[in-house]
Amino acid sequence: MSEHALFPTLAVVLAAGQGTRMRSSLPKVLHQVGNRPLLGHVLAATAVAGIEQLAVVVGPDTPAVAEYVQQVAPAAQQFIQQQRLGTAHAVLAARPALLRHEQGCVLVLFGDSPLIGAQTLQRLRQTLIDGVAVAVAGFTTAQPGPYGRLLTEGGRLLAIREAKDASAEELAINLCNGGVMGFRADHCLWLLERIGNGNAQGEFYLTDAVELANAAGLPVVAVAVAEEEILGVNDREQLHAAEQIFQRRRRQQAMQAGVTLAAADTVYFSADTELGVDVRVEPCVVFGPGVQVEQGACIAAFSHLQHVRITAQPAC
């Protein structure tokens, strides 16, 4: 029997945030990068990573989010966070799923982080399979600024210190909290239920699980990931930044797969764009949703395509 069969994984995706800084009537997680909602990118990553079970926590006032999840991930369990009282409180909204998931791994993801990769999820899961009780995604940055700092010693993660609570020495640390966390299922609920709200905001913070786990003698580690993977989108500027990273990645993937981009920076992809080998794309092309281009086809400059299949054609 494989390791993954012995350690099935439940991903709990938090998608209940109001997103007031987006200044929009559209729920934050439904704003798009690469013509796919932010939440859709996270759900797609869980599918590619082979995560067996999925729970999505939505808000009480965002029926469009629930409808979208039902459309793209009908097997996902949905739970409503009736009050927004912090990240740990949000995860506990999925308590029925956590109670049923008695063994294996639990990954806590955020619906507004569209750049998370399947390989990162697999690494977090493997860390838990290897015996760690709590794993936290961390990234190194030259400008740690407002990020929470990861306090480590001898390969062990001791605590997550919020910037506003950090000492001068701790503020000099450039290993920061990426938010995404993993738990061994047999410790997850036990830790979550012991998180209190004795802080200035009166909220239940998921990050408090680190110190609770350490106090109980459980192994806790940080797993290094690329900073861009855990980029959260909270406003339009961050949405723009995520779009630029997505397009850069997608252009690189296309060229590495045998596609010629005559002026790569002027070509814009959708998340579901499919291009065969030896496709040539001339400058200033926009691939809208639902485009498939067969091997050897040429896409002429200034084309804007959507919901179409392009067969091989003579050279442009």
Annotated active-site residue 250? The verdict is no
> Which residues share a beta bridge with 309?
292
Amino acid at 31: H
Cβ proximity of 299 and 310 under 8 Å: yes
| Distance separating alpha carbons of residues 239 and 259, to the nearest angstrom | 27
Cβ proximity of 65 and 39 under 8 Å: yes
Which residue from 10, 92, 93 is spatially nearest to 51, judged by alpha carbons?
10
Burial class (CB in 10 A: 0-12, 13-18, 19+), 201: exposed
Burial class (CB in 10 A: 0-12, 13-18, 19+), 315: exposed
**Selected catalytic residue, list 21, 156, 236, 248:** 21
Helix count (H) and strand count (E) of the chain? 10, 20
Whole-number Cα distances in Å, 151 to 148, 167, 214, 257: 10, 12, 12, 40
| Distance separating alpha carbons of residues 6 and 149, to the nearest angstrom | 33
List, by residue number, the catalytic residues: 21
